[in-house]
Structure 1
Amino acid sequence: MSHALYDLAARIDHTLLKPQASRDQIAGYCDQALAHGFAAVCVNPRHVRAVADRLTGSHVATCAVVGFPLGAHTTEIKAGEARRAVADGAREIDMVIAIGALLEGDEAYVADDIARVRQACGSASLKVILETGLLDDAAKRRGCEIARAAGAHYVKTSTGFADGGATVADIALMHATVGGAMGIKASGGVRTREAALALVEAGATRIGTSNGVALLGD
């Protein structure tokens, strides 16, 4: 594997969030992540323990989504999901921001929502999904700023379940807002190596995709 492809592989969160995902499919994603040196395997909470068990002893992190995919769960539910996922072996948590509250300008609610999930994460890293396809640029910036102030480790573009996905323009905006202070995860519609590398060039430090193996050309 070339240096460029190795660097790309090490940024990939190998993602399987389909509701019909089977145990065998989840196990296969874990094995692919181990074989290719991906950063993490990202799954729904039900699968966290099985993923953590299969990845035991490796550098590949177990990642769980929280408040997914709408972000409209109560804070107590999001924090509880995060706490349980960490207990089951998750080392990274991807939470969906309270999108409606952000759009309404209720920044105190958004900040508290993130901060309480961050506390529930303990030593696990927290990524905050903005769902950029539903936001204007001002809201994207504020979402990034609130997430940083609340102690999150990354901001992330999209769930892949709403309109829009990762774009170079959005990654550049997020990088200009919090680059250096936080990681930036591009997720949603990343289907080609060229698209992934363009997002990395714009400032993405992680790539969330279900097409990780295809991106490497294997």
Structure 2
Amino acid sequence: MTLAPYLDHTLLRPDCTADQIRQLCQEAKAHGFAGVCVPPCYVALAAQELAGTAVAVGTVIGFPLGYQDTRTKFREAEHAIEAGATELDMVLNISLLKSGQLPQAEQEVEDLADLAHLHDVLLKVIIETALLTEAEIIQAAQLCAEAGADLVKTSTGFASRGASVEDVELLRRSLPATVRIKASGGIRTRAAALALIAAGADRIGSSNGVALLSEDDATSSV
């Protein structure tokens, strides 16, 4: 199988440049990736580069720690949508979750989901599985589903580890079929990506997308 339709081609390093974002978009367009995920300051550039294509323009909200005030996240999301984002990857307020303030955490997701859906934009919620217990992963997944998230995403890529097969399997068991899963963080090989898809991931976030497709080509030529 080809991985291209599963891949969000990602560049979120703090030292990334505008030229690197242009290259990312050209690669996504050339290979038919599902989307790109770029820093908020480059959403307009990515939207311009990808105009007229089926490649989604994604960006991050409340990244990478998630504990910004809800109003800050909401305004950040508004700006991103105005700039041309068609998908938002929002970091859950993990502090609220761990403090037992589940209604507040859920309300934040619901507010962002309502805003996104008003503009036909997808909302993915990053729950940062590396920082959660199994019980908290289940709590977070159910909270996101009830609040209207379109996808639950495993990781920012900035924690101690990224996605694991076990995380994705647990999320798939905990979520309704209508809520999809994005696995991200540390996915550097075709084998790892395929294992996560087999576990239930619908999207793969990777900064290594072109190399993963090179493995596709190598496999098909054997």
Normalising by the smaller structure, the TM-score range is over 0.9
| TM-score of the aligned structures, taking structure 2 as reference length | 0.94
Structure 1 residues 149, 179: closer, same or farther in 2, change over 3 A?
Answer: closer
Q: Is residue 2:20 matched to residue 1:25? A: yes
Distance in 2, matches of 1:179 and 1:40, equals 23
CA-to-partner distance for each residue in 1:22-53, whole Å, 9 max, x for gaps?
00000000000001110011011100000001
Q: Which runs of 4+ in 1 moved over 2 A?
A: none
Offset, 1:164:
1.5
Q: Could you tell me how far apart the structure 1 residues matched to 2:94 and 2:198 are? A: 27
Partner of 1:52: 47
CA offsets 1:109-151 (integer angstroms, 9 cap, x no match):
1101111111222320000000000000111011010101111
Q: Which of 107, 127, 141 is matched with 1:112 structurally?
A: 107
Aligned equivalents of 1:68 and 1:28: distance in 2?
Answer: 23
In the alignment, structure 1 residue 152 sits paired with structure 2 residue 122: no
Does residue 97 of structure 1 match 2:92? yes
Structure 1 unaligned runs (5+)? none
Aligned-partner Cα distance in 1 for 2:136–2:175: 14
Q: What is the number of residues matched between the two proteins?
A: 213
Equivalent residue of 2:8, what SS?
strand
Q: Find the counterpart in structure 2 of residue 16 from structure 1.
A: 11
Indicate yes or no: 2:211 matched with 1:201.
no
Corresponding residue number in structure 1 for 2:218: none
Does the aligned pair in 1 maintain the 2:145–2:176 contact within 8 Å?
A: no
| d(CA) in 2 for partners of 1:217, 1:180 | 31
Overall identity of the aligned pairs, in %: 47
The CA distance in 2 between the partners of 1:70 and 1:217, in whole Å, is 33
Separation of aligned partners in 2, 1:199 and 1:105: 30
Partner of 2:189: 192
C-alpha contact (below 8 Å) 1:14/1:41 kept by paired residues: yes
Query: In structure 1, how many angstroms separate the alpha carbons of the residues matched to 2:69 and 2:23?
Result: 33
- After superposition, the C-alpha distances for 1:54-83 in whole angstroms (9 at most, x for unaligned) are 100000000010000000111001111111
What does 1:64-79 align with in structure 2 at a 5 Å threshold?
A: 64-79=59-74
Q: Give the alignment's Cα RMSD to 1 decimal.
A: 0.9
Within the alignment, does 1:136 sit opposite 2:148 as a pair? no
TM-score by length of structure 1 reads 0.96
Asked if 2 retains the 8 angstrom alpha-carbon contact of 1:80 and 1:120, the reply is no
Whole-angstrom CA distance in 2 between matches of 1:133 and 1:115: 23
CA distance in 2, matches of 1:116, 1:146: 13
SS in structure 1 opposite 2:16? coil
What residue in structure 1 maps to residue 77 of structure 2?
82
How far apart are the structure 1 equivalents of 2:80 and 2:165?
A: 31
How many Å separate the matches in 2 of 1:99 and 1:44? 21
Aligned equivalents of 2:66 and 2:108: distance in 1? 10
> Distance between the aligned counterparts of 1:203 and 1:215, measured in 2?
19
The residue identity in structure 2 corresponding to 1:72 is Y
Native 8 Å contact 2:193 2:204 kept in 1: yes
TM-fit CA distance, 1:179: 4.8
CA contact 1:63–1:91 (8 Å) conserved in 2: yes
